[in-house]
Amino acid sequence: MVRITEGLVRKKSEHNELEIFSLEELSLHQENIEKIEHLDRWCKHLKILYLQSNLIPKIENVGRLKQLEYLNLALNNIERIENLEGCESLTKLDLTVNFVGELTSIESLKRLVFFQELYLTGNPCSQYEGYREFVIATLPNLKTLDGTPIEKSERIKAVQEYGVVKARIIQQQIEYRKQRAKQLEEAKLEEEMEKAEKAIENVEEKKPGFDGTWYTDINQEDKEKKAKREVEELEKQHQKDKEFWETKSVFSPEERVKAHKKLEEQKDRDRLKEEAKNPPKPPRKLFNDEGRPMNINEPKIDFRLTEDETGNNYILDYHCFKYMETALIDLDVQPNYVRIKTKGKIFQLALEHDVNPDSSTCQRSQITGYLLVTMPKAKQVLKPSIKPIPKKTDNKENIDQNDKKEIKRTKTEKLEVDEKVRKTVDIGNIVEEKHKHVVPPLGSKTVCKTKIERANSENFVDNPEVPPLE
């Protein structure tokens, strides 16, 4: 029995972003549903409801749907029109090919002011004498019956003959009820006969062993005999199915349910045959016998596992598909392995050193779609980040300024002082390059402390009366 569940309703409400409270249209056709339930509480704003091609025997739990305008219950097992008085906005009802025999039950639709279309084609009541006249006279607001518009003259004539037609309809309903009671008795007898036959078959198949248990090890048949027996059973089953579909059956809800069960059995047998031909693959083994994780790449996606400059972090560059939704990717980082699921396919990579899953991070590129997983190691090691000193070359132009700065930074110099020669340190000679001439900046009034004196010419005469130039 298939029930109407919240998951099923949400699945059918994809057009409404999986919201069921504000749902206005719902299609649950061909779902093998056997009962209408929960819809009056979950989907109170429904306007259109499709429930055709199911196994529903009764109209129920729709009276609270005040906004319902169209209800389709074609190809079901409904025998009576009921529980629709609360559907104030109902305008169309489709009950094509059901088992409505109680035609007087349409009187429950009288109070529906907006009701205009009714379909009862294929029901037992549609074969009654005076069927159309009775429906037209009973439902004054009806405009279309079984797809045929109702004319004014037709309605006037039906209203005039309403009393006679109604008495005729009631008499035909009584006869139909008697036929229906016989059908129910015959259906019960058939069910009991089928149960007895199945019990006999089960007893014949089982053979008691010496210890009272059912066994297959003692007196086993050869493979050829087993194959022949299987073929014979299949032929018998095929013959039974052929007889079932060729024999004429009574038009009743029980026969429809029986035919549905027969179809389901055939589908199950076909599915078992396909599974026997193509057995399912065994589950993927993620760990070896010692419990260590294994390296797996089911999606066959390129990747790269490296370490950062410090050597304290693992960096996994996973080249997943660019246009795949992030919701389809499942990442799991464990102390000794990392696992990524993409569309159900597993990628697993064992790690040489343990990592901290809580401190791990994951980023996805918006351009390439790649995943970048950073996993810090559990044991962090501090290392100096010193660049190597470039080798000396004869061509000084090849050494750029950054290398010169690095050489100066990493080069270690020691100041040696000979106590015999000098007792104090010559601070002025510590600097490598001594500025012999300091040029003051432009516009500065400062005077250079170090002055370079030019040699006097041969004809120079020093006059003490002349003041010196400043």
| pLDDT, tens only, 414-444 | 545 455 555 555 555 555 554 445 555 555 5
Among 69-83, 215-229, 253-267, name the one with the lowest average pLDDT.
Answer: 215-229
CB 87 within 8 A of CB 110: no
pLDDT at 470: 58
Question: What is the β-pairing status of strands 361-364 and 117-119?
Answer: unpaired
Query: Which residue's entry shows tokens 């078959």?
Result: 201
pLDDT range class, residue 214, cuts 50, 70, 90 = very low
How far apart CA 254 and CA 183 sit, in angstroms, is 9
Domain boundary among 376, 407, 441: 376
User: Looking at residue 114, what is its pLDDT?
Assistant: 94
Q: pLDDT-based confidence at 459, cuts 50/70/90?
A: confident
User: How many CB atoms sit inside 10 A of residue 9's CB?
Assistant: 18
- Of 175, 191, 220, the residue at which a domain comes to its end is 175
Considering 121, 145, 175, which residue would you say is the last residue of a domain? 175
182 falls within a domain: no
- Return the higher-pLDDT residue of 349 and 251: 349
pLDDT for the residue 25? 94
Residue-level pLDDT at 404 = 57
Mean pLDDT over each residue of the chain, to the nearest integer: 82
Higher pLDDT, residue 311 or 139: 139
Measure the N-to-C terminal CA separation of the chain; round to a whole number of Å: 117
Question: Do the domain assignments include residue 312?
Answer: yes
How many domains are contained in the chain?
2
Question: Where does the pLDDT of residue 158 fall: very low under 50, low under 70, confident under 90, or very high at 90 and above?
Answer: very high
Q: Confirm if 139 and 113 have CB atoms less than 8 A apart.
A: no
The answer to the question of residue 259 being in a domain is no
Tell me 186's DSSP state: H
Q: Where are the alpha helices (DSSP H) in 278-431?
A: 401-410
Three-class DSSP category at 337: strand
pLDDT at 412: 47
**pLDDT band with cut points at 50, 70 and 90 for residue 178:** very high
**3-state SS assignment for residue 339:** strand
How confident is the model over 16-30, as a mean pLDDT?
Answer: 91
CA-to-CA distance for 179 and 361, rounded, in angstroms?
74
Q: What is the mean pLDDT of residues 142-147?
A: 94
Rg (CA), the chain: 48
C-alpha dihedral, 184 to 189 to 191 to 193, nearest 10°: -170
Nearest to 245 by CA among 265, 267, 264, 263: 263
Lowest mean pLDDT of 154-168, 237-251, 347-361, name the range: 237-251
Provide the residue range defining the domain that includes 337: 296-376
Please report the pLDDT score of residue 243 as a whole number. 79
Q: What is the dihedral of CA 29, 35, 40, 42, to 10 degrees?
A: -70
**Is 223 within the bounds of a domain?**
no
* Cα–Cα distance, 411 to 405 (Å, whole number): 10
Whether residue 220 lies inside any domain: the answer is no
Q: Map residue 429 onto helix, strand or coil.
A: helix
Q: According to the model, what pLDDT value does residue 400 have?
A: 57
Burial class of residue 306, CB neighbours in 10 A (0-12, 13-18, 19+)? exposed
Confidence of residue 210 (pLDDT cuts 50, 70, 90): very low
Q: What percent of the chain has pLDDT over 70?
A: 79
Here the CATH number for the domain that contains residue 124 is: 3.80.10.10
Query: Which CATH number is 349's domain given?
Result: 2.60.40.790
| Domain membership flag for residue 23 | yes
Secondary structure class of 356 (helix, strand, coil): coil
β-bridge partners, 27 = 50
d(CA 26, CA 44): 12
User: Is residue 79 a part of any domain in this protein?
Assistant: yes
Q: How far apart are CA 407 and CA 390, in angstroms?
A: 8
Residues 165 and 306 in one domain: no
Q: Which residues contact 323 (CB under 8 A, 6 or more apart)?
A: 369
Cα–Cα distance, 101 to 458 (Å, whole number): 147
pLDDT greater than 50 at residue 276: yes
For residue 323, being part of any structural domain is answered with yes
Greatest mean pLDDT range, 45-54, 248-257, 407-416, 457-466: 45-54
Question: Could you read off the pLDDT of 296-338 as tens digits, one per residue?
Answer: 999 899 999 999 888 889 999 999 888 888 888 999 999 999 9
Q: What is the pLDDT of residue 38?
A: 93
